[in-house]
Chain A
Amino acid sequence: MIIQPHISIQNLNVHIGENHILKNINLDIPDKKVTSLIGPSGCGKTTLLKTMNRLLDRQNDVRVNGKVLVDGENIYDPKVEVTHIRKKMGLLSQRPFPLPMNIYDNIAYGQRVHGNNSKKELDEIVEKYLRGVNLWDEVKDRLKSPATRLSIGQQQRLCLARGLAIEPEIILGDEPTSALDPISTQAIEELFMQLKDKYTIVLVTHILRQARRVSDYIGFVYMGEIIEFGPTEEVLLNPKEKLTKDYVKGFLV
């Protein structure tokens, strides 16, 4: 049914200190689809997301065993260049964190650290991706003003544009709308719908309605294990596992 996995997680185990956080995860994330990871707080879904761009490496006492293949390449291979992997993925965190610089430089930052300093190209990229997140018209007259003056909803769209500007293949969203008001949330969700033609999107969320609105596939994570994975409607409306059934029950009512 899943034809072409973009990210393939194989026998992944994560320990943080003494705790076994992720237990033997096997998961194929389909190419150019939206996949949501749902589950109760503390079940490990954010940890799972962070293994995909190796941000987990930054924490203390973390041991990762198993493979995460992106385009067939194991990103936990010691020979792999970690900045190169991360360039393939844009990350959207729970709260937007604009860099301490102006709007233009925020978008251009990723390109610059990867060595692109051509003013002409950067101008084009900044405009293209700000248009891409429907922010261009709101900020085109104040590109040189601090990004922190934007509203939080605008900041989150800016962060999405910043991530897209490094021209990744994958977008990782860690509850990207949890700090936003309903209108900004809707704007982000609509963007995901537009972007899924070009990008593989992995979304952590605990809003089941959001998962239903935007995603093609859903993975249910519970106590560090993938309990169920399948097409959105099937998992939400017709779950096979009892645990999933109990979790999505609230949604059906």
Chain B
Amino acid sequence: MRKIEENIFKVLMILSTIMISSTLFMILYTIFSKGIGSLSWDMVSKIPEGGFYIGKGGGILNAIVGSIYITIGSTLLGLLISLPIVIYINVYAKRNATLASITRLSYDILFGIPSIVYGAFGFAIMVYMGLKTSLLAGIITVTLMIIPILVRAIDEVVRVVPEDMSNAVFALGGTRYETAKIILRQSIPGIITAILLSFGRAIGDAACVLFTAGFTDSIPTSLDQPAATLPLSIFFQLSSPIQEVQNRAYAAAVILTIIVLIINIVAKIASKNLSKNKI
């Protein structure tokens, strides 16, 4: 009887595993089969020419560059803000448990807020500050969206660093700042995972950049110019009634997926090299 029960659950587990991995392959198959035909060197090396959205020549270099600018900008800015927060609640505010738990609760709530709300919020800030749709406004809004992701993910890994590890540094006469550096060093693989998560969200999110970064056919050369992004580029092309333009949307999706894959692989290698001293 127990054997049968085990087998039933084993089959269920195998089925769900297959379902999840086959979904991934189906997504990849769909975008590749529809997009590969339109994928050309022009796609990744040229900006849209006149009439691009009704089927004329050109490419989406504007959106690729725009997305990379916004994603890298906001991930760096996000890290710069998240790391001190995590260090503060884990090392400095250790004896102030209320402060730490209020912080964690608020980041949990922020984590669950849909990105369109961040988009609207970013837009409101933008109007208030008198900014136009620009690369800077896009970066700020996306940063706001990914900070909760970064804080929660880094907090999880920093919290599991054993207390005795910090005590070892304190016992050697280290300050809290020096202890924090050791804790971060110990958490490098987890921090890289957190960066990956936020990078994926940042590069794939359309709602945040819709009102804030705007859309343009040219490549931004300064922070106050609007910037195109891949998700929006996909959106605009896919809404076209022309088949050829729709196919280009899938090609853009392929490019977006490849960028995410490359970042994943690079991060895996980096994490392996950086974590060789870890316990």
Residues on A lying within 8 angstroms of B by beta carbon are 53, 55, 58-60, 83-84, 86-87, 89-91, 93-95, 97-102, 109-110, 113-114, 146-148, 159, 162-163, 166, 172
Q: Is the CB of B175 within 8 A of A93?
A: no
Q: Is the CB of B95 within 8 A of A83?
A: no
Q: Is the CB of A95 within 8 A of B178?
A: no
Q: Is the CB of B172 within 8 A of A97?
A: no
Q: Is the CB of A97 within 8 A of B171?
A: no
- Interface SS of B by simple majority: helix
Asked if B167 is at the interface of the complex by the 8 Å CB criterion, the answer is yes
Can you list 8 A-B contacts with CB-CB less than 8 angstroms, sorted by A residue number?
Answer: A60-B94, A60-B95, A86-B171, A87-B172, A91-B171, A97-B165, A100-B278, A101-B185
Using CB atoms, name the residue of chain A closest to B163. Answer: A58
Q: Is the CB of A60 within 8 A of B97?
A: yes
Q: Is the CB of B173 within 8 A of A110?
A: yes
Asked if B276 is at the interface of the complex by the 8 Å CB criterion, the answer is yes
Q: Is the CB of A83 within 8 A of B279?
A: no
Using CB atoms, name the residue of chain A closest to B183. Answer: A100
Q: Is the CB of A55 within 8 A of B167?
A: yes
Using CB atoms, name the residue of chain A closest to B178. Answer: A113
Q: Is the CB of B278 within 8 A of A83?
A: no
Which of A84, A91, A99, A102: most chain B CB closer than 10 A? A99
Q: Is the CB of A98 within 8 A of B97?
A: no
Q: Interface digits, B253-279 against A, CB 8 Å rule (1 contact, 0 not)?
A: 000000000000000000000001111
Residues of A within 8 A of B166 (CB): 58
Q: Is the CB of B168 within 8 A of A91?
A: yes
Bound together, the chains give a CA A98 to CA B279 distance in angstroms of: 8
Among B167, B174, B178, the residue within 8 A (CB) of A93 is B167
Bound together, the chains give a CA A101 to CA B279 distance in angstroms of: 10
**Distance to closest chain B CB from A176 (angstroms):** 12
Q: Given A86-B172, A113-B172, 12 other A-B contacts at CB below 8 A?
A: A60-B97, A86-B171, A87-B173, A97-B164, A97-B165, A100-B186, A100-B277, A110-B172, A113-B174, A146-B277, A148-B277, A162-B168
Bound together, the chains give a CA A113 to CA B164 distance in angstroms of: 18
Bound together, the chains give a CA A110 to CA B182 distance in angstroms of: 12
Q: Is the CB of B277 within 8 A of A86?
A: no
Residues of B within 8 A of A162 (CB): 168, 172
Using CB atoms, name the residue of chain A closest to B276. Answer: A146
Q: Is the CB of B278 within 8 A of A148?
A: yes
Q: Known interface pairs A99-B182, A100-B279. Does A84 touch B167 (Cβ–Cβ under 8 Å)?
A: no
Bound together, the chains give a CA A58 to CA B95 distance in angstroms of: 7
